[in-house]
Every structure is written in C-alpha cells, then in structure tokens.
Structure 1
C-alpha cells in the first residue's frame, strides 16, 4: 500500500546512484538552450556526493529539445529523420555544457550513448558494464543518453527513465533518483485538484498506483509519470531504491538530500534477497579479501565490512566488482560488491609496497562492502571455489 506520511530517507546511505535529469529541467523551453546556472548547482551537488565517497552516474535528456531549436524545428511531434538530426545537433551542445559546468568544480565527465541492445545482448552489456565501472574507478562521471541518432523505434528505450533503471541494474547501483518537474507521485493529478496528496513511500507498483499516473506535460518530454512507474517496477525488481523528486530548485540534490518531500519506492525483502542471490551465484569474483576474526563475526552478524577488518587482498578489481571474502583460515564465507577498487584499497589498507600518498581522501574506517551488497554462504557450505580468484 502507498504511504502518505513523511519519509526520512536521504541519499546519505547510497553507495552508488544513478541520477536521471529530465528535459524540462536542463533545457529552457522558450530558447532551447541549456539552463547553465541550474546545471552549475547540480555539478556542485555531485561534487559534494563524490566528496562523501559516493559514485554518481548521470542520465540526461535534452538533446532533441536543444537540437530542434537549433534546426528551427518547432512542430510538437517530429518525424523520425528530423528527430535523429535534432538529437545529433543537440547532443553536441549538451556535452559541451556538462563538460564546462563540471570542469569548474574539478569534475571530469564522460559521454556514453547507448541503444537498447547495449543493455540486453550479453557481450555488449558486459562491455558497457566494464566501461562504466572503469570510468567510476578513474573518478570520472558518466553522462548517459539514448543514442537517438541510430536507435530504431522498434528497438529503443523510448524514454530515459527506463534507460536509467536498466543502467542502475547493470552496474549494481543501490539508488536511482529521477529528477523531474513534479514533487513525486500524487494520489491524483495535482494540476487539476488541490485535494490530492503526495505519496511518500511505495513498496509495490500496483494497479491502484498505476491509476494515479498521468501523461507527460512538457512539450519536449517523452516520459511522464507512466514511464517513471515503469522504471520503478524495474528498479524494485532489481532490489534498487528509487525516488521521484522535484529538481526545479537550484542545488536539486542537496534539497532532496535535506528531506524535501518526494516519493520513495522501496524494494521488498524478496527483491533484496534476490539481489544477494545474484551476487552469490551469478557474478564471477574479480578478487579475494581476507578479513580478521572480528570483521568476520561482524559480517555474519549483518554489519558492513570496513577497511580496519581487511588483512590482505589479491586480484585486480574495480569499483562495484564482486569479490570473495575469506576468514584467516582461508575459508570462503561470503561474497560482495567492493565499494573501492584494488588500487584504492591499497591506499586505504597501506599494504607493504603500496604508495602511501593517495590522490583520494580515505580513512581506516572506510566502508569496503556494504551489508546490502554482501551475500553470506549457507551455514556448513562454501560457495563454488572454482569461480573465485586464487
């Protein structure tokens, strides 16, 4: 059932999040130009999240909205060829705006254009996952969009809400934020009635929830609440927390993080268990962590793994890669997704032979694996050692 009471959730607990930006937020609809002052405050917000050790991936709409003005295409619905041309022109302007705004905050961005096949065909999906995790390890912020120039209508995402949900699942994110021009999901159409209420928490996208959704209101948006609920279904099935939040204010993520009202979609216990099952059974580990007795006990009790508990490690792994966790006797008792790469872990643990000066700000208490990204072996058994890294 949906809940209307205030939610206390913030972004503080997120380790890796995808933030989707709608066209109505980033593009001035009258001029077709990027709202650079707003983008500047978003960059500052993301710099703050990065300073807390959180990974951020952006999915940004807006290329078509920009390109149609540049090409003087003002009809409400563009034919396919004109839409592709507008996307090609607009993407150049969008990429420049991101690069310049984020550079002023000493943040590097990387453009990644995807088609539906890139997230459904296994080899291409693995390539995308590897590229995105490597970019995060290199401290770059991926900025994703659908490749409208080559996407066919029969094989496209259709909107960036669903693209964002697919990417969140693909790279093991725990949180997805859809920044929009509304506060969240209402019990009815807030443009037609002042009596409707903001739904603060949803645990399942039921027919009742679907009836609350309306269509897109922006002349340039391909989404609307319907597509956001479709993204919510995908996120909840993957065990990912999702929020629909108002992004119209300056510093939109900061306002949201301070408790501005929004709608949170919280996955069920079953979905969280399924996420842990995938970590345990389907991900090939890229490294091994050996932890001390106290850390092993804490993990078995449902706590996080911190750097102070790591005795040694081996393997070459990136942020978000799966690793085996072993006790001091060499017994594997868990697998999890590493928050840090092996290079970063070397700085954190100060292993012999590692360069002590780090370009990143770490501490001995840094989280290495969050409990939500940890799968314990069944008691009395060990996970298949053949898939581990010796």
Structure 2
C-alpha cells in the first residue's frame, strides 16, 4: 500500500494507487426490467482495462445477482420479498453475473475470476487470511477478481447486507490502496441532496458524528440494500486501515474518467475520504469486524487508560451485555455510551460480570483460578 492519495485524481495514478477496489451496485448494473445494462457496463470494463494497462491492479465488488435472478425467476420485489426468494434469486443470477463480467473482460484480454464471500469468511481470522491469499495470487497472475456476497447461503444473521462494507473489507484483505464506491449521486452532501441549499463535501478527514448526521440511509432505486449510511460505515472501515475511499457518481457512461479525470490534474467530482491511520494487519482486521458478540461499558478512568494505550482491566468495567466466550469480539463503550474500541475478550460474559469493578486481587477468589492480566488486552484491541 502506497498511502499517498491526497486527491481524487491520485486514485487513477499507479504511483499512488497500485491496487484499486471498484464497487458496483445493483441499480447501476441492472435496469428496471431486470436485464443487465450492458452498454453502461461495457464502458466501465473499458475503464478497468485502461487502469490495468497503466499498471494498476483492480478488484471488482459487484452486486446484481439477486436482481438478475429475480427477473429470470419472476420473483416479486426484486427477489427481496423473503430470505428464501433472495437466496434462490442469487443462485440463478450469480451464473449470469459472473458470465457477463467474464465475457466483457475477455474482450480486453483480461481474465475474470469469481470469488463469493460471506460475512463469516472475513470475520474469522483464518478464513480472512485465506481470502487475502487468494486475492493476492489472482492479481499476481493478472486476473481481475469479481467479488460478491454469497447470498445463496448467507442468512440475515451472517450477511454484510450491503456491498459497500463488503468492498471495504475486501480492500483490507486485498491490501488495496483505495476503494471507489459507484453511487447514484456525485458524493456526500451536507444535507439531503434534494434540498437546493445542499452542498457536496469534497474531502472528509475522519468520519465523525457530524458526518454521519449528513447521511440518508435509504436506497432510492429499491434494487440495492445500501444507502449513504452504509457508505460511511465502509469509509470508517477503510480509513482505519490506511485505505482511501471515494464516493463517485456511477450513473454516467465511463463514470471513473468523469469523476477522477483519468489521473490528470488535481480536480475531480466526488467525495474523498482520507485515511486516518494505518493499523497493523491484525488490528485493521479487528477494527473492521462487523459481528460483535457483546458490549463492555467502562468508567472514565478506564476510558482514559485505553486512550493512552493501556489494556482494559476488570476494575474499570461497569456493565456487561451480550453472550460471548473467550476470544469473541466485543465492543468497549465509554461512560457516555459511545464506542471506544473493539477487542477480543479474555473472559466469557458470565466471568466478566462476576469480576467487573473488582481489583485483580479479588478475581482469583471470585473465579476459582488465577486471573488473566486483562479483560481485553491492548494487543487484542483497536481504538475506534
């Protein structure tokens, strides 16, 4: 990762962005009739071919399987009427989607590769590393990985639910420099874009509560599952891993060139989220985890200690919620209720409840065995 991206135009430059993830949503790829928007997609593939020709490696995260399959099966509500409908539509649509990408990429001498992932594939450390290795090898071999959520087997409990966050996690696993989220508007606006006074935000340096307040959580098309809220969540995942993320308008023919200027000049049309920091590989994976098993609330003293790089001790825990065992991911919240960190618990939920607020000297008596040094060790924790 080069981590020298300062403008949208930098994303089109191999020197600053050697590896790029491009996310394409259902509403862009599939028309209202349930058929692929082939001419538009061909223009995007042309841009992908141009990127590879100038020395960039590209990973595609593509929605569209459910929408395509629903049209083929004649399912109502775009295949999203029920979980069973979505799973069936995905099973049918994924064949067509993969074939379409492979065909269009082949016209430019590029080899497409299909990779279907579930949330668990990227939440489990070993499977995450396997996915990372596969992506790396495909790119080294000159292929263009086309990734989608494996909706035919994922349930509501183990789904990303949107490909924006999947794209950010794939960027982590694929060691990408940047993510392009193709949307139906030019970028993030400071209020509802329908408001005549709305202004687009060109650069965001850290997703804050004020930035989240600008988001509209809906998906206007009815085909997709994400909105601006999911894009901001994706930006949070990316920015902690040292990855730039941009929201650009994908509704135009050749949308990347329009937004980035093909790497010429420093202008651009879109919103660029600059990385805040570059966590180590394990902490970046942990910080991007979406499935948390519990919550540990802490007092002001513990919150201050965490922010200074200390481990979380039982003495500072004020409340425990959720059902988790040792090694599960939990969220740590400060006295104001806001999330401070994510980490891997050293005790299960019942043990945490038994020792919270107590000194280390009391824990052996309470638990019946010598206590571990921390409830969440600093080496297994990432600050948010």
User: Is residue 2:19 matched to residue 1:16?
Assistant: yes
Aligned to 1:300: none
Tell me, in whole angstroms, the C-alpha distance in 1 between the residues paired with 2:9 and 2:135.
30
Which of 209, 212, 219 aligns to 1:210? It is 212
Query: Structure 1 residues 277 and 90, CA, compared in 2 at 3 Å: closer, same or farther?
Result: closer
The answer as to whether partners of 1:239 and 1:275 remain within 8 angstroms in 2 is no
Please report how far the alpha carbon of residue 172 of structure 1 lies from its aligned counterpart in structure 2 after TM superposition: 1.2
Please report how far the alpha carbon of residue 11 of structure 1 lies from its aligned counterpart in structure 2 after TM superposition: 2.1
The answer as to whether partners of 2:18 and 2:176 remain within 8 angstroms in 1 is yes
Aligned to 2:198: 196
Aligned to 1:370: none
Query: Structure 1 residues 119 and 103, CA, compared in 2 at 3 Å: closer, same or farther?
Result: same
The answer as to whether partners of 1:58 and 1:143 remain within 8 angstroms in 2 is yes
Correspondence list, 1:109-258, <5 A:
109-191=112-194, 193-214=195-216, 215-258=218-261
Aligned to 1:32: 34
Query: Structure 1 residues 8 and 16, CA, compared in 2 at 3 Å: closer, same or farther?
Result: closer
User: Is residue 2:51 matched to residue 1:49?
Assistant: yes
Please report how far the alpha carbon of residue 10 of structure 1 lies from its aligned counterpart in structure 2 after TM superposition: 4.0
Q: Which runs of 5+ in 2 are unaligned?
A: 1-6, 262-266, 285-384
The answer as to whether partners of 1:7 and 1:200 remain within 8 angstroms in 2 is no
Tell me, in whole angstroms, the C-alpha distance in 2 between the residues paired with 1:278 and 1:209.
24
Deviations 1:67-92 (A, max 9, x none): 11111112364111011001111111
Given the two structures, how large is their TM-score scaled by the length of structure 1?
Answer: 0.66
Count of equivalent residues: 269
Given the two structures, how large is their TM-score scaled by the length of structure 2?
Answer: 0.67
Which of 269, 290, 313 aligns to 1:261? It is 269
The answer as to whether partners of 2:215 and 2:228 remain within 8 angstroms in 1 is yes
The answer as to whether partners of 1:19 and 1:57 remain within 8 angstroms in 2 is yes
Tell me, in whole angstroms, the C-alpha distance in 1 between the residues paired with 2:199 and 2:239.
23
- SS of alignment partner, residue 28 of structure 1: coil
Please report how far the alpha carbon of residue 216 of structure 1 lies from its aligned counterpart in structure 2 after TM superposition: 1.5
Deviations 1:5-46 (A, max 9, x none): x966442121111110011111112x1011111111111111
Tell me, in whole angstroms, the C-alpha distance in 2 between the residues paired with 1:25 and 1:8.
22
Please report how far the alpha carbon of residue 127 of structure 1 lies from its aligned counterpart in structure 2 after TM superposition: 1.4
The answer as to whether partners of 1:183 and 1:246 remain within 8 angstroms in 2 is yes
Tell me, in whole angstroms, the C-alpha distance in 2 between the residues paired with 1:71 and 1:180.
27
Tell me, in whole angstroms, the C-alpha distance in 1 between the residues paired with 2:198 and 2:117.
37
Query: Structure 1 residues 277 and 140, CA, compared in 2 at 3 Å: closer, same or farther?
Result: closer
Tell me, in whole angstroms, the C-alpha distance in 2 between the residues paired with 1:23 and 1:41.
16
Please report how far the alpha carbon of residue 260 of structure 1 lies from its aligned counterpart in structure 2 after TM superposition: 3.6
RMSD over aligned Cα atoms? 1.8
Deviations 1:328-367 (A, max 9, x none): xxxxxxxxxxxxxxxxxxxxxxxxxxxxxxxxxxxxxxxx
Tell me, in whole angstroms, the C-alpha distance in 2 between the residues paired with 1:90 and 1:165.
23
Which of 85, 90, 97 aligns to 2:88? It is 85
Query: Structure 1 residues 78 and 277, CA, compared in 2 at 3 Å: closer, same or farther?
Result: closer
Tell me, in whole angstroms, the C-alpha distance in 2 between the residues paired with 1:59 and 1:138.
19
Please report how far the alpha carbon of residue 231 of structure 1 lies from its aligned counterpart in structure 2 after TM superposition: 0.3
Tell me, in whole angstroms, the C-alpha distance in 1 between the residues paired with 2:85 and 2:8.
43
Correspondence list, 1:379-390, <5 A:
none
Tell me, in whole angstroms, the C-alpha distance in 2 between the residues paired with 1:43 and 1:267.
27
- SS of alignment partner, residue 75 of structure 1: helix
Deviations 1:151-194 (A, max 9, x none): 12111111100111001111211101101111110011112x12
- SS of alignment partner, residue 94 of structure 2: helix
The answer as to whether partners of 2:22 and 2:58 remain within 8 angstroms in 1 is yes
Tell me, in whole angstroms, the C-alpha distance in 1 between the residues paired with 2:204 and 2:221.
25
The answer as to whether partners of 1:10 and 1:256 remain within 8 angstroms in 2 is no
- SS of alignment partner, residue 215 of structure 2: coil
Aligned to 2:70: 68
The answer as to whether partners of 2:8 and 2:268 remain within 8 angstroms in 1 is no
Q: Which runs of 5+ in 1 are unaligned?
A: 1-5, 280-390
